[in-house]
């Protein structure tokens, strides 16, 4: 049940806190006053909890320590990005001085940066691909040699141990890097990029160090024989490349190239990151259109035509560069026949009849169910890891254990399943005879003694009858479990390939069953393997538009689009019935305040006055340095409304203050750091020699307040905030509804929204976390709304 009592009670709540708020902006407030006020804020919060408990939607939760692994928390550690432009005097002055030529110059620079992003992303993909291919070739060649020798001596445990050991050593290296050097490089990186594009700052996610660990990590994960892929990490890599190039500086190397400083703003960086993510998809799958659609479907909260063009340009450059480099590497320079890392081989157009559509739907439903199961198992494992496997050394041990388990599964299948095929019918790089007769090879060994990507190709292209149903069934169970165990380990690897592989295997198995039931029909196994692969992946990630286009572009067959669309849509619907997509599950587990596409339904009767925080910590247009310093030390908030000074002493304790603007913590810190204050409060800002570059120089990592050196005498100086604050921040009246707040935040990428009363006085403050707290849940056809808790970690 939702509160429908209307916004009227805001006046009561507001008047209760008037004196507190007034005191907060008091210039003479001492530390003890602040401590007292802070306590009163906390008390106010807990009172509100009780007050609103009866309304169905509770208003406020104090920050709490919560059981790790809970899905109902928002973590306080995530800050928001600020996609709103601060139109202060400095910016206007800069625009006035530079004029139109600068706009043209900036636009040319933008296209040039996108060009570089496409080229560099493709080159990174090229290096990763070549390393994986070459190292895997050496590894599997040696293993094959060892099996061929020791099978005759009946000492197969030697190649087995060699396999386990090589897997463990390689994965150990990658896992140590991820666990100890850069933990944020773990996994595919897609959830983190999605959060970034949504407006949440995930610490260290777009740093060069992360990119290096990611690139080395993904090579070790795939060569180490884990059930993971290189495609997801490529998307993350593209984003890091974009963030790095567009900013013209590197925090990791502490180097500022002093270029592109006009792109040092959150919204500019976000646009480049979304183009980088798209370039990553494009390089990974050879899918330029799929890349653009991926950024649109999965990530960016802001989109327009200009961004579409630039992103498309980046994806095309990326595909072209990678194609060129790979073609040259494979000895066909200029042929351009290697468009992406994932090459599923050229598929023939498969004819399909109208009556086959229900079969594709069935495949979609199976994919949805299996995908939901995969997500559920992975979720349980993730919770277990958060609770019991959080120490870095334990995470390394777990990764090594999975590496050993992967080799063991493969070995047992080769050893125990009697699946022999005549040589020469299908292209197999390392045909192992093992216990087969002369002129035959072990089909399971052929699948395991190659990279997962090559195995997907085998399942898609090998002729019918290449695999026995039992072998396929055992493979499906093993690989399904291995891949769900692998995703979330402390290694850099994605889930696209393992799921395509599992899906292609069960697609093939179903094709055999169909053939068995309808013997007259000649079945095309490639068709069902491809549809199965799409269904399984769709059931896990719940992407539809972009995944359809990616699969079409990867297989080079537009005429196969309809079966894939039907399958993916049904897989998504079926999967959504049980749980969320895997990326959303991990985002929720991390407690990220992500804003979905739509506001929670039936919340038009939840008002801003219930959502907002109050009393609000504000600053006056001209403040003393001591007061600003004390406030920044006391509270960790990142935004402060700037208000008019009270007209009289009496007014200070009885009324709210009129809103004049909004200033960020980072701006205040830069002002204090550069000592932009004076003993005389009346100094005009134009006398101070400052411009926007003062702020851009520090972006995006500003010093903390404790790092500033401020002398005691400086505290009595005055700081005029007017030239630096945003003089026209977005505001909403206290009677605005939650959906209205949500839409403003989501569409404009806001970070802070002051709530005002009828005469433009600040009565509350709303941030992303206040809104993200309201979440819709769906479970097996039921629906409701819950209010999340705010955790202190």
* 437-476 positions binding ligand ATP, by CB under 6 A: none
CA dihedral 641, 645, 650, 656 (to 10 degrees): -20
For residues 347 and 555, the answer to whether their CB atoms sit within 8 Å is: yes
The tokens for 185 are: 């490089």
Which residue's CB is nearer to ligand ATP, number 563 or number 615?
Answer: 615
Residue 430 CB, nearest approach to ligand ATP (Å): 53
Work out whether 767 is an interface residue with ligand ATP (CB under 6 A): yes
Which residue's CB is nearer to ligand ATP, number 586 or number 773?
Answer: 773
Strands (E), 580-620: 619-620
Pick the stretch among 108-116, 132-140, 732-740, 763-771 that binds ligand ATP (CB under 6 A): 763-771
How many residues in the shown chain lie near ligand ATP by CB under 6 A?
Answer: 17
Which residue's CB is nearer to ligand ATP, number 312 or number 640?
Answer: 640
Which residue's CB is nearer to ligand ATP, number 75 or number 252?
Answer: 75
* 565-624 positions binding ligand ATP, by CB under 6 A: 613, 616-617
Residue 770 CB, nearest approach to ligand ATP (Å): 5
Residue 43 CB, nearest approach to ligand ATP (Å): 14
Residue 653 CB, nearest approach to ligand ATP (Å): 18
Which residue's CB is nearer to ligand ATP, number 21 or number 442?
Answer: 21
Which residue's CB is nearer to ligand ATP, number 48 or number 271?
Answer: 48
Running DSSP on this structure, what letter comes out for residue 225?
T
Work out whether 770 is an interface residue with ligand ATP (CB under 6 A): yes
Running DSSP on this structure, what letter comes out for residue 752?
E
Work out whether 23 is an interface residue with ligand ATP (CB under 6 A): no
Residue 260 CB, nearest approach to ligand ATP (Å): 24
Q: Among 276, 452, 581, 639, which residue sits at the site for ligand ATP (rule: CB under 6 A)? A: 639
Which residue's CB is nearer to ligand ATP, number 496 or number 617?
Answer: 617
Residue 593 CB, nearest approach to ligand ATP (Å): 7
Q: Under 8 Å CB-to-CB from 609, ≥6 apart: which residues?
A: 7, 9, 10, 13, 14, 734, 735, 755, 763, 764
Determine the Cα–Cα distance for residues 27 and 20; give it in Å rounded to an integer. Answer: 13
Q: CA dist 267 to 85, 323, 449, 674, Å? A: 8, 31, 46, 25
Strand-pair partners of 489: none
Running DSSP on this structure, what letter comes out for residue 158?
H
Work out whether 726 is an interface residue with ligand ATP (CB under 6 A): no
**How many helices and strands, by DSSP H and E, does the chain display?**
27, 18
Pick the stretch among 3-11, 403-411, 637-645, 695-703 that binds ligand ATP (CB under 6 A): 637-645
Residue 614 CB, nearest approach to ligand ATP (Å): 7
Residue 590 CB, nearest approach to ligand ATP (Å): 15
Radius of gyration of the chain (CA): 29
Q: CA dist 248 to 85, 254, 277, 695, 702, Å? A: 20, 11, 18, 15, 17
State which H helix or E strand residue 594 sits in: none
Omega within 30 of 0 (cis) for the link into 251: no
Strand-pair partners of 607: 737
Q: Among 751, 757, 763, 774, which residue sits at the site for ligand ATP (rule: CB under 6 A)? A: 751
Residue 254 CB, nearest approach to ligand ATP (Å): 25
Work out whether 765 is an interface residue with ligand ATP (CB under 6 A): yes
Work out whether 502 is an interface residue with ligand ATP (CB under 6 A): no
Residue 330 CB, nearest approach to ligand ATP (Å): 48
Residue 768 CB, nearest approach to ligand ATP (Å): 5
Reference 367, options 583, 574, 581; nearest CA is: 574
Q: What proportions of the chain, in percent to the nearest 5, are helix, strand and coil?
A: 60, 10, 30
CA dihedral 184, 189, 194, 196 (to 10 degrees): 30
Pick the stretch among 179-187, 489-497, 594-602, 638-646 that binds ligand ATP (CB under 6 A): 638-646
Work out whether 637 is an interface residue with ligand ATP (CB under 6 A): yes
Residue 125 CB, nearest approach to ligand ATP (Å): 33
The tokens for 764 are: 């509350």
Residue 460 main-chain phi, psi, to 5 deg: -80, -35
Q: Among 769, 771, 774, 791, which residue sits at the site for ligand ATP (rule: CB under 6 A)? A: 769
Work out whether 80 is an interface residue with ligand ATP (CB under 6 A): yes
State which H helix or E strand residue 411 sits in: helix 392-416
The tokens for 532 are: 């199965």
For residues 607 and 630, the answer to whether their CB atoms sit within 8 Å is: no
Annotate each residue in 197-226 with x if it binds ligand ATP (CB under 6 A) or - if it does not, as one string: ------------------------------
Give Cα 781 to chain centroid, integer Å. Answer: 27
User: Under the rule (CB under 6 A), what is the footprint of ligand ATP?
Assistant: 79-80, 613, 616-617, 637-640, 751-752, 765-770
């Amino acid at each position: 049940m939702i509160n429908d009592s209307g916004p009227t009670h805001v006046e009561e709540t507001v008047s209760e806190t008037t004196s507190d708020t007034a005191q907060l902006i008091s210039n003479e407030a001492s530390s003890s006053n602040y401590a007292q006020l802070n306590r009163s804020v906390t008390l106010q919060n807990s009172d509100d909890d009780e007050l609103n408990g009866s309304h169905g939607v509770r208003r406020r939760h104090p920050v709490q320590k919560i059981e790790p692994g809970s899905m109902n928390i928002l973590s306080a550690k995530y800050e928001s990005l600020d996609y709103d432009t601060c139109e202060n005097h400095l910016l206007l002055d800069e625009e006035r001085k530079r004029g139109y030529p600068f706009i043209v110059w900036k636009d040319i620079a933008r296209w040039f940066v996108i060009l570089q992003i496409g080229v560099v992303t493709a080159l990174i993909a090229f290096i990763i691909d070549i390393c994986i291919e070459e190292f895997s070739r050496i590894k599997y060649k040696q293993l094959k040699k060892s099996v061929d020798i020791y099978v005759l001596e009946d000492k197969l445990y030697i190649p087995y141990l060699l396999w386990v050991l090589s897997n463990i050593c390689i994965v150990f290296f990658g896992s140590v890097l991820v666990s100890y050097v850069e933990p944020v490089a773990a996994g595919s990186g897609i959830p983190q990029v999605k959060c970034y594009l949504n407006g949440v700052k995930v610490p260290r996610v777009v740093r060069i160090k992360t990119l290096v660990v990611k690139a080395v990590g993904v090579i070790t994960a795939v060569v180490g024989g884990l059930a993971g892929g290189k495609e997801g990490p490529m998307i993350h890599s593209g984003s890091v490349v974009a963030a790095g190039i567009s900013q013209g500086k590197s925090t990791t190397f502490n180097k500022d190239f002093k270029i592109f400083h006009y792109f040092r703003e959150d919204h500019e960086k976000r646009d480049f990151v979304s183009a980088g993510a798209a370039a990553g998809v494009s390089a990974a799958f050879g899918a330029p259109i799929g890349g653009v659609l991926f950024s649109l479907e999965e990530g960016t909260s802001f989109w327009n035509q200009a961004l579409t063009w630039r992103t498309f340009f980046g994806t095309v450059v990326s595909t072209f560069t990678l194609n060129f480099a790979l073609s040259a590497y494979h000895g066909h320079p200029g042929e351009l026949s290697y468009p992406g890392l994932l090459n599923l081989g050229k598929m023939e157009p498969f004819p399909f009849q109208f009556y086959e559509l229900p079969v594709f739907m069935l495949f979609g439903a199976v994919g949805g169910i299996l995908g939901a199961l995969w997500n559920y198992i992975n979720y349980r494992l993730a919770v277990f890891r958060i609770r019991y496997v959080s120490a870095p050394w334990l995470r390394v041990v777990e990764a090594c254990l999975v590496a050993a388990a992967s080799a063991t599964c493969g070995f047992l299948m080769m050893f125990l399943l009697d699946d022999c095929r005549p040589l020469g019918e299908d292209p197999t790089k390392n045909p192992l005879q093992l216990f087969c007769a002369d002129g035959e090879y072990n089909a399971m060994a052929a699948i395991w003694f190659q990279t997962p990507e090559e195995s997907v190709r085998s399942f898609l292209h090998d002729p019918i009858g290449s695999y026995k149903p039992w072998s396929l069934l055992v493979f499906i169970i093993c690989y399904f479990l291995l891949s769900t165990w692998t995703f979330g380990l402390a290694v850099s690897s994605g889930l696209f390939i393992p799921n395509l592989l599992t899906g292609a295997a069960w697609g093939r198995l179903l094709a055999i069953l169909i053939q068995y039931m309808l013997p007259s029909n000649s079945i095309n196994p490639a068709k069902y393997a491809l549809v199965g692969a799409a269904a399984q992946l769709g059931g896990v990630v719940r992407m539809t538009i972009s995944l359809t286009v990616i699969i079409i572009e990867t297989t080079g067959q537009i005429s196969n689009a309809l079966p894939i669309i039907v399958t993916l849509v049904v897989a998504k619907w079926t999967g959504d019935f049980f749980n969320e997509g895997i990326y959303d599950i991990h985002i929720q587990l991390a407690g990220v305040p992500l804003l979905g596409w739509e506001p929670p339904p039936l919340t038009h009767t939840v008002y801003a006055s219930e959502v907002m925080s109050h009393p609000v910590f504000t600053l006056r247009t001209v403040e003393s340095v001591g007061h600003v310093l004390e406030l920044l030390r006391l509270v960790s908030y990142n935004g402060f409304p700037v208000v008019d000074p009270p007209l009289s002493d009496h007014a200070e304790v009885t009324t709210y203050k009129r809103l004049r603007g909004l200033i960020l913590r980072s701006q205040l810190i830069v002002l204090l750091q550069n000592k932009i204050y004076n003993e005389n409060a009346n100094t005009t800002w134009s006398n101070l020699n400052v411009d926007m570059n003062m702020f851009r120089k520090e972006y995006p990592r500003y010093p903390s307040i404790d790092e500033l050196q401020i002398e005691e005498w400086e505290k009595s100086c005055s700081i005029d905030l007017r030239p630096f604050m945003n003089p026209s921040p977005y505001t909403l009246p206290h009677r605005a509804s939650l959906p209205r707040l949500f839409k403003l935040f989501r569409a404009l990428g806001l970070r802070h929204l002051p709530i005002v009363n009828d005469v433009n006085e600040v009565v509350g403050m709303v941030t992303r976390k206040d809104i993200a707290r309201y979440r819709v849940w769906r479970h097996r056809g039921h629906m409701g709304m819950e209010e999340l808790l705010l955790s202190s970690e």
